[in-house]
């Protein structure tokens, strides 16, 4: 009974719970649906979330590759920069080494030069050692050059350079006279006998012209015409042939020594006879302090005073050929078929401000710079003599000072004495 009662009880219990189960089933299905929807959404999210990491993983994978590329580029750039920096460092190191080497060589040369004696010097030489060229420096004794004292002129020895004058002339001796009246306008040591150098050639020309020799005769330059007194040079070679006129022309205009020597040799009695005639002519002109030993003036034994030379200038002015030859500015001769152009040794002849009638220059170390000339100043014939002038152009400067003095002041003798040159 008990069994049957329990069975009935359980059956009733099952019947009582059955609607509840049926009522709960729709909720369960909706829940299932909701859960399915949520599951789908969550799965979609999961897919998206999975896709994002995948994309991120792809991006992350791609990023390292780009980073690797960039890194490789940077590495290459760094390597290139490193190479360039290394090369620049090498170049800079090389240049630094070179500069250091130059500095070292300069210091070495300085040290060498400072260690040299005053009579030594360094000589650079290139030698070959084991097939390689090397530069070495050797000490060499300097050549001993003898000191030659300046040659004093005869005027210096006589103390004439100490004489002062109102015009501050550079010449130790000066004389200015009026040619027409022989009146002395200016004088300075005019009576002192001194070497006259190539002023001698003016007497040479006077003797040649007054001897009336054939001016077209051909004269030849020989060894006898070579200057062994001063060892001066000449453009006329030994063997050169010129007419007597051309020889005289270049002797007076350009002071050609070999031409003057040839003129003296080609005279009756030779050079000795010629010199004798020169001295005789000087005596006849009243040139009491004058003496000649040759026809060139190279010897310092050819001497005269300024007063003597003024007389010579006045006498030589009387010969037109001497005036022309001494004042030509240029002249061309052809010894042996070759042309030689000579120029005047006095640049005043080319100056249009000067009207020079006759002139002659001269120079040897014992005589200094000399100049004699005749010129017109204010339409007045003036004879100027300058001996032992200091400086290459000082004699020309003295002539200009005398001219200015004559043009701007009343011609008065500086010594305030008026006298004529004695004949």
255 has catalytic annotation: yes
Q: Which of 201, 281, 311, 360 is catalytic?
A: 201
Rounded Cα distance, 241 and 220, in Å: 4
3-state per-residue secondary structure call for 360-390 = EEEEECCCEEEEEEEEECCCCEEEEEEEEEC
Which H or E element spans position 304?
A: strand 303-304
Question: What DSSP string describes 142-162?
Answer: PP-PPPPPPPPPHHHHTTGGG
β-sheet bridge partners, residue 389: 171, 369
Whether pLDDT at 222 is above 90: yes
Q: Which of 161, 171, 172, 198 is catalytic?
A: 198
CB-CB contact of 154 with 374 (8 Å): no
Give the rounded percent of residues in the chain with a pLDDT score beyond 90. Answer: 59
201 has catalytic annotation: yes
Rounded Cα distance, 136 and 127, in Å: 7
Most confident of 6-15, 276-285, 390-399, 403-412: 276-285
pLDDT of 109-131, one tens digit each?
Answer: 555 445 666 677 778 888 888 88
Rounded Cα distance, 234 and 185, in Å: 38
Rounded Cα distance, 281 and 205, in Å: 12
CB-CB contact of 320 with 251 (8 Å): no
User: Which one, of 331, 315, 300, 346, lies nearest residue 200 by Cα?
Assistant: 300
Torsion of CA 285, 286, 289, 291, to 10 degrees: 30
Chain Cα centroid distance, residue 162: 37
**What pLDDT is stored for residue 376 in this prediction?**
97
CB-CB contact of 264 with 294 (8 Å): yes
Distant-in-sequence, close-in-space partners of 241: CB < 8 Å, separation ≥ 6? 218, 219, 220, 221, 335, 336
Q: Where are the beta strands (DSSP E) in 38-170?
A: 120-129, 132-141
In the predicted model, what is the mean pLDDT of residues 259-279?
98
Show the domains of the chain with their CATH numbers: 154-408 (3.40.710.10)
CB-CB contact of 373 with 286 (8 Å): no
Q: Where are the beta strands (DSSP E) in 158-239?
A: 171-178, 183-188, 194-195, 218-220
Whether pLDDT at 235 is above 60: yes
4 has catalytic annotation: no
Give the rounded percent of residues in the chain with a pLDDT score beyond 70. Answer: 68
Percentages of the chain per state (helix, strand, coil), in multiples of 5: 50, 20, 30
Query: Do you know the residue count of the chain?
Result: 423
In the predicted model, what is the mean pLDDT of residues 236-245?
97
Count how many Cα atoms sit within 13 Å of the Cα of residue 184 in the half-sphere of its side chain: 23
CB-CB contact of 160 with 189 (8 Å): yes
CA separation, residue 91 to residues 86, 95, 98, 99, 100 (Å): 9, 6, 10, 12, 14
Model pTM score: 0.66
**What pLDDT is stored for residue 55 in this prediction?**
41
User: Comparing 67 with 262, which gets the higher pLDDT?
Assistant: 262
Rounded Cα distance, 302 and 230, in Å: 14
Q: Please report which confidence band the pLDDT of residue 234 belongs to, taking 50, 70 and 90 as the band edges.
A: very high
User: Which one, of 237, 227, 166, lies nearest residue 198 by Cα?
Assistant: 227
User: Which one, of 317, 267, 268, 278, lies nearest residue 196 by Cα?
Assistant: 278
User: Comparing 48 with 217, which gets the higher pLDDT?
Assistant: 217
In the predicted model, what is the mean pLDDT of residues 331-352?
94
Rounded Cα distance, 362 and 201, in Å: 9
**What pLDDT is stored for residue 12 in this prediction?**
56
**What pLDDT is stored for residue 7 in this prediction?**
59
């Amino acid at each position: 009974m008990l069994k049957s009662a329990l069975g009935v009880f359980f059956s009733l219990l099952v019947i009582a719970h059955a609607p509840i189960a049926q009522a709960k089933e729709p909720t369960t299905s909706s829940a299932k649906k909701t859960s399915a929807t949520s599951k789908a959404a969550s799965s979609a999210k999961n897919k998206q979330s999975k896709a994002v990491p995948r994309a991120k993983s792809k991006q992350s994978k791609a990023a390292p590759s780009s980073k690797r590329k960039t890194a490789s580029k940077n590495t290459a750039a760094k390597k290139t920069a490193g190479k360039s920096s290394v090369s620049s460092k090498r170049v800079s190191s090389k240049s630094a080494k070179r500069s250091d080497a130059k500095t070292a060589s300069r210091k070495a040369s300085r040290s060498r030069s400072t260690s040299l004696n005053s009579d030594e010097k360094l000589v650079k030489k290139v030698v070959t050692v084991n097939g390689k060229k090397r530069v070495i420096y050797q000490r060499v004794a300097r050549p001993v050059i003898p000191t030659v004292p300046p040659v004093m002129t005869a005027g210096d020895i006589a103390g004439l350079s100490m004489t002062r004058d109102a015009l501050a002339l550079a010449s130790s001796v000066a004389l200015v006279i009026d040619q027409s009246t022989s009146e002395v306008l200016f004088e300075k040591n005019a009576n002192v006998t001194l070497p006259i150098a190539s002023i001698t050639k003016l007497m040479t020309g006077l003797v040649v012209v007054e001897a009336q020799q054939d001016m077209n005769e051909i004269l030849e330059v020989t060894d006898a015409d070579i200057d062994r007194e001063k060892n001066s040079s000449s453009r006329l070679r030994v063997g050169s042939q010129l007419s007597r006129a051309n020889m005289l022309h270049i002797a007076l205009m350009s002071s050609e020594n070999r031409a003057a020597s040839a003129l003296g040799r080609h005279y009756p009695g030779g050079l000795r006879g010629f010199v004798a005639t020169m001295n005789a002519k000087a005596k006849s002109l009243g040139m009491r302090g004058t003496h000649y030993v040759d026809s060139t003036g190279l010897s310092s034994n050819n001497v005269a005073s300024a007063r003597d030379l003024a007389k010579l200038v006045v006498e030589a002015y009387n010969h037109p050929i001497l005036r022309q030859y001494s004042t030509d500015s240029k002249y061309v001769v052809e010894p042996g078929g070759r042309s030689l152009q000579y120029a005047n040794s006095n640049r005043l002849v080319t100056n249009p401000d000067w009207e020079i009638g006759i002139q002659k220059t001269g120079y040897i170390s014992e005589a200094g710079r000399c100049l004699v000339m005749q010129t017109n100043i204010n339409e007045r014939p003036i004879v100027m003599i300058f001996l032992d002038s200091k400086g290459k152009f000082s004699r020309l400067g003295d002539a200009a000072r005398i001219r200015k003095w004559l043009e701007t002041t009343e011609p008065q003798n500086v010594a305030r004495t008026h006298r004529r040159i004695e004949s």
